[in-house]
Amino acid sequence: MKGKKMYYLGILFFVSVIFISCERQKDPLAYEVATFRYPLFSGMFWEYRYETAFFNVQPDTLLTPATMEETLRVVIHKTKTLPNQAKAFEFQEFRTIRDDQVIIRSYYNNADDGFYQYAYVEGFVGVGLPKLKPGPMVRFNHRLFSDAKEALFYIEMAGRGIPFTSFSADSIVVLKPPLRVLMYPLFIDVEWVYRSKNGNAFPVHKKIVGKESVTILEDYQIEAIKVQVLTDYDRNGQWDPDVVYFEYYTELGLVKRYVLLKGLVMMDYQGNEIGTFDSASTLILTRMAIPE
**pLDDT for the residue numbered 108:** 97
**pLDDT for the residue numbered 157:** 83
**pLDDT for the residue numbered 134:** 57
**pLDDT for the residue numbered 161:** 73
**pLDDT for the residue numbered 198:** 73
- What mean pLDDT comes out for the span 147-169? 76
**How far is it, in rounded angstroms, from Cα 84 to Cα 251?**
29
**How far is it, in rounded angstroms, from Cα 157 to Cα 175?**
15
**pLDDT for the residue numbered 160:** 80
Answer yes or no: is pLDDT of 137 > 80: yes
Q: Are 278 and 292 in contact (CB under 8 A)?
A: no
- What mean pLDDT comes out for the span 121-148? 70
pLDDT band at 287 (very low <50, low <70, confident <90, very high): very high
pLDDT band at 136 (very low <50, low <70, confident <90, very high): confident
CA distances from 250 to 36, 110, 180 (A): 9, 15, 17
Q: What is the pLDDT of residues 88-128, one digit of tens each?
A: 999 999 987 666 778 889 999 999 999 999 999 876 544 44
CA distances from 290 to 44, 46, 87, 213, 263 (A): 5, 9, 21, 23, 41
**pLDDT for the residue numbered 124:** 56
What is the residue extent of each domain of the chain? Answer: 2-289
Q: What is the pLDDT of residues 36-80, one digit of tens each?
A: 899 999 999 999 999 999 999 999 888 777 788 899 999 999 999
- What mean pLDDT comes out for the span 16-29? 42
Answer yes or no: is pLDDT of 132 > 80: no
CA distances from 15 to 20, 221, 277 (A): 9, 11, 39
Answer yes or no: is pLDDT of 261 > 60: yes
**How far is it, in rounded angstroms, from Cα 254 to Cα 155?**
18
Q: What is the pLDDT of residues 204-253, one digit of tens each?
A: 999 999 999 999 998 899 999 999 999 998 888 999 999 999 999 999 99
Q: Are 54 and 279 in contact (CB under 8 A)?
A: yes
Give whichever of 57-71, 131-145, 271-285 has the largest mean pLDDT: 271-285
Answer yes or no: is pLDDT of 24 > 80: no
Average pLDDT, the chain: 83
Q: Which of 269, 211, 200 is nearest to 233 (CA)?
A: 200
